Amino acid sequence: MLEEIKKLRSKIDADLQAISSAEEAEAFRLKHLVRKGTIATLFERMREVANEEKRLVGKELNQLRAFAQSGFDEAQIKTEQKSKEPIQDPTLPPRKLYHGHEHPIMQAKARIQEIFIRMGFTVATGPDIEDDYHNFEALNFSPDHPARDMQDTFFVKHGDRDDLVLRTHTSPVQIRLMKSQKPPIRAIMPGRVYRNEAITARALAEFYQVEGLYVDKGVTMAQLKGTLFEFARAYYGKDIKFRFRPSFFPFTEPSAEMDITCFLCDGKGCRVCKYSGWLEILGCGMVHPNVLRNCDIDPEVYSGYAFGMGIERTQMLAIGLDDIRLFYENDVRFLSQF
């Protein structure tokens, strides 16, 4: 009898280990713990046990029953928890999945690129750390031009070179292109630029620009106007009007700034356009003969136009945003709106 109890105990132990579902736990109960189960059957055979052994066998049997019962209880709790986990309340709406997306400035950059690529422009890039020659000198800045001042420019020290700067605009990429390619050249040049400026609602020390350049025989200001107007219509909408205002840049002659009618107030005047009805969107002009000459392009044979715009500003105007810092505060509540 004691031998049989031992055998049954190892059988029950093995059965308990094997339980992995509520159904299996129930099968275990029906096999071992009910009135006609294995343990009860052994209890019934107590009658055959010799009197002097009854105490010991009874004790062993009781222990076996307690072992089976507590093992079953434990298995039941475990399997119940398991079966509860996947579905708590099938009527609950599913949790929302949040997907990341491109930063609004990268979206704007992609859109600007796409519009110009459709008009036949290629995309070129240049280094963020420039030398004085490409950033200023070759672009016809005079040696004492105020933009070269410490107030505006971040200088970079590297070894014994003292002519390195973080580029203050994307215009130096024009120089690199004209020095490495022969006309016709028709490219846009997006990239990061750096200025030693206090960060305010309207200015950052680090931002993005897109430069444009077209050099060929017979390039005219009328083509510049037509191209930029096409761009503005594609970016801001078909109904905008634009104007060119005379301006000055060392690397273009003549130079202009382009304004579009404020689409927020339809030109009537509002806070965003400072009650003028116009929004300035970019600087542009005909490439200065000195700049062409610096790149070994004969200004008697070739002419070109150039333009440059800030991407953050372009995007701010498109969405009616009045604080440029929002783009870089990484607040998902803001960024997820785009």
Q: Which residues bind ligand DAH (CB under 6 A)?
A: 169, 171, 211, 249, 252, 283-285, 306-308
Minimum separation from the CB atom of position 325 to ligand DAH (A): 20
Name which of 12 and 286 has its Cβ closer to ligand DAH: 286
Q: How far is the CB of 318 from ligand DAH (least distance, A)?
A: 19
* CB contact at 8 A, 32 and 68: yes
Which tokens in the block code for residue 263?
A: 């689409």
Answer whether 256's CB lies under 8 Å from 246's CB.
Answer: yes
Q: Which is nearer to ligand DAH, 187 or 284 (CB)?
A: 284
Angle, alpha carbons 117-242-203 (nearest 5°): 75
Looking at residue 184, what DSSP letter applies?
Answer: P
**Closest to 156 measured CA to CA, from 166, 143, 144, 168:** 166
Distance of CA 319 to the CA centre of its chain: 18
Q: What are the residues whose beta carbons fall under 8 Å from the beta carbon of 44, sequence distance 6 or more?
A: none
CB 289 within 8 A of CB 263: no
Nearer to ligand DAH (CB atom), residue 64 or residue 306: 306
For residue 157, the minimal CB distance to ligand DAH (Å) is 24
Distance, in Å, from the CA atom of 38 to the CA atom of 29, rounded to the nearest integer, reads 10
* CB closer to ligand DAH out of 32 and 169: 169
Q: In 21-121, which ranges are E strands?
A: none
- Number of residue whose CB is nearest ligand DAH: 308
Separation CA 308–CA 319 (nearest Å): 20
The nearer residue to ligand DAH, 12 or 228, going by C-beta atoms, is 228
| Among the listed residues 280, 285, 322, the one whose alpha carbon sits nearest the alpha carbon of residue 306 | 285
By beta-carbon proximity to ligand DAH, the closer residue of 194 and 249 is 249
Query: Which C-beta is closer to ligand DAH: that of 79 or that of 135?
Result: 135
As measured in angstroms, the least distance from the Cβ of 100 to ligand DAH is: 31
Contact 306, 212 (CB under 8 A): yes
- Among candidates 125, 124, 121, which has minimal Cα distance to 186? 121
What does 47-113 look like in DSSP terms, one character per residue? GGS-HHHHHHHHHHHHHHHHHHHHHHHHHHHHHHHHHHSS-S-TTSPPPPPPPP---HHHHHHHHHH
Minimum CB–partner distance for residue 233 and ligand DAH (Å): 20
Shortest Å distance, C-beta 188 to ligand DAH: 10
User: What single DSSP character describes residue 33?
Assistant: I
Least distance CB 106 / ligand DAH (angstroms):
20
Q: How far is the CB of 96 from ligand DAH (least distance, A)?
A: 42
Task: Specify whether the CB–CB gap between 317 and 280 falls below 8 A.
Answer: no
Q: How far is the CB of 136 from ligand DAH (least distance, A)?
A: 11
Burial class of 81 by CB neighbour count within 10 A (0 to 12, 13 to 18, 19+): exposed
Query: Nearer Cβ to ligand DAH, position 65 or 288?
Result: 288
Q: Which CB atom, from 69 or from 247, has the smaller least distance to ligand DAH?
A: 247
